[in-house]
């Protein structure tokens, strides 16, 4: 039986995955903001007779410290992790910044995945067939990345922030696999296709109408699960792989450029250093 962490496991695809894996006998940890949804997950677990294998960790994963707290708790409670699945995401029509002063999409959709993945390498590498599954939208062109304005201070658009976030996750996968592939950890990028989920977001009215119309033709959540379940049960042999609606796509073309991945890795380390420096200075004053 496996131990599986699902960041963004309280709703949508993550929630459906959590329930399926609990039913299959795994230990499942879900992370999300909503206490109500977390309690509903624990109630479902109790109804399945799996209360002792279900954990809800409330956290706002858009915050650096919250990711560090969750990683610390996971490391302390679970020295071995078989699968780390990223599903947390929140659309924003209007640009917003977290309390750390980081643009929200960048912070939640990309930086949280960067922080949790790196912090849990030891626990993952202790498993027999460890896998990180990054559910986003692999395969877009590198052109969507605004290298000189990663936090989209100029000309923000929610769709562009989401598109860029997906690409940053591709590059995160490239850098992660390059660094940790030899430890046996497999990194799998998955585009589930348009799926009828909660579409967590802060929308203006026109965008909300578009979301409602998308929900009417989107596929049911259950249809998005098989590629993710397959990646958990039998991770691909290669350190990095990518799937769009169950179809494997290549990860060697220009859009998965290792030099771009290293550039993002270095930029991310710089952004984190800058934010931590500011926090330390604020605490000292």
Residues in touch with ligand NAP (CB under 6 A): 8, 10-14, 32-34, 37, 59-62, 87-90, 108, 135-137, 191-192, 194-195, 197-200, 218
Q: How far is the CB of 263 from ligand NAP (least distance, A)?
A: 23
Rank residues 60 and 151 by Cβ distance to ligand NAP and give the closer one: 60
Q: How far is the CB of 254 from ligand NAP (least distance, A)?
A: 22
Q: How far is the CB of 43 from ligand NAP (least distance, A)?
A: 15
Rank residues 45 and 283 by Cβ distance to ligand NAP and give the closer one: 45
Q: How far is the CB of 89 from ligand NAP (least distance, A)?
A: 4
DSSP string for the chain: --EEEEET-SSHHHHHHHHHHHHTT-EEEEEES-HHHHHHHHHHHHHTT-GGGEEEEE--TTSHHHHHHHHHHHHHH-S--SEEEE----EESS--B-TTS-BHHIIIIIIHHHHHHHHTHHHHHTSSS-EEEEES-TT--GGG--GGGTT--SS--HHHHHHHHHHHHHHHHHHHHHHHGGGT-EEEEEE--SB-S---EE--HHHHHHHHHHHHHSBPHHHHHHHHHHHHHS--SSSEEEEETTEEE-S-SGGG-HHHHHHHHHHHHHHHHHHHHHHHHHHH-
Q: How far is the CB of 259 from ligand NAP (least distance, A)?
A: 25
Rank residues 126 and 230 by Cβ distance to ligand NAP and give the closer one: 230
Query: Closest CB to ligand NAP belongs to which residue?
Result: 12
Rank residues 212 and 270 by Cβ distance to ligand NAP and give the closer one: 212
Rank residues 34 and 80 by Cβ distance to ligand NAP and give the closer one: 34
């Amino acid at each position: 039986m496996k131990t599986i962490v699902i960041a963004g496991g309280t709703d949508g695809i993550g929630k459906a995955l959590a329930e399926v894996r609990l039913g299959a006998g795994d230990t499942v940890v879900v992370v999300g903001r909503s206490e109500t949804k977390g309690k509903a997950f624990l109630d479902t677990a109790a109804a399945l007779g799996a209360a002792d294998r279900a954990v809800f960790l409330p956290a706002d994963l858009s915050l650096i410290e919250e990711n560090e707290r969750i990683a610390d708790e996971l490391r302390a409670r679970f020295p071995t992790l078989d699968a780390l699945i990223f599903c947390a995401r929140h659309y924003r029509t209007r640009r917003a910044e977290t309390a750390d002063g980081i643009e929200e999409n960048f912070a939640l959709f990309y930086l949280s995945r960067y922080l949790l993945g790196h912090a849990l390498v030891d626990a993952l590498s202790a498993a027999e067939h460890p896998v990180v599954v990054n559910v986003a939208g692999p395969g877009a062109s590198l052109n969507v990345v605004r290298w000189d304005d990663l936090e989209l201070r100029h000309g923000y658009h929610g769709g562009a922030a989401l598109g860029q976030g997906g690409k940053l996750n591709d590059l995160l996968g490239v850098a992660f696999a390059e660094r940790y592939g030899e430890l046996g950890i497999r990194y799998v990028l998955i585009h589930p296709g348009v799926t009828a989920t909660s579409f967590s977001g802060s929308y203006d009215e026109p965008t909300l109408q578009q979301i409602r119309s998308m929900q009417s033709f989107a596929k049911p959540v259950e249809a998005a699960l098989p590629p993710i379940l397959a990646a958990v049960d039998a991770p691909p042999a290669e350190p990095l792989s990518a799937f769009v609606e169950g179809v494997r796509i290549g990860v060697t073309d220009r859009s998965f450029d290792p030099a771009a991945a290293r550039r993002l890795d270095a930029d991310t380390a710089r952004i984190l250093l800058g934010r931590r420096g500011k926090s330390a200075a604020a605490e000292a004053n």
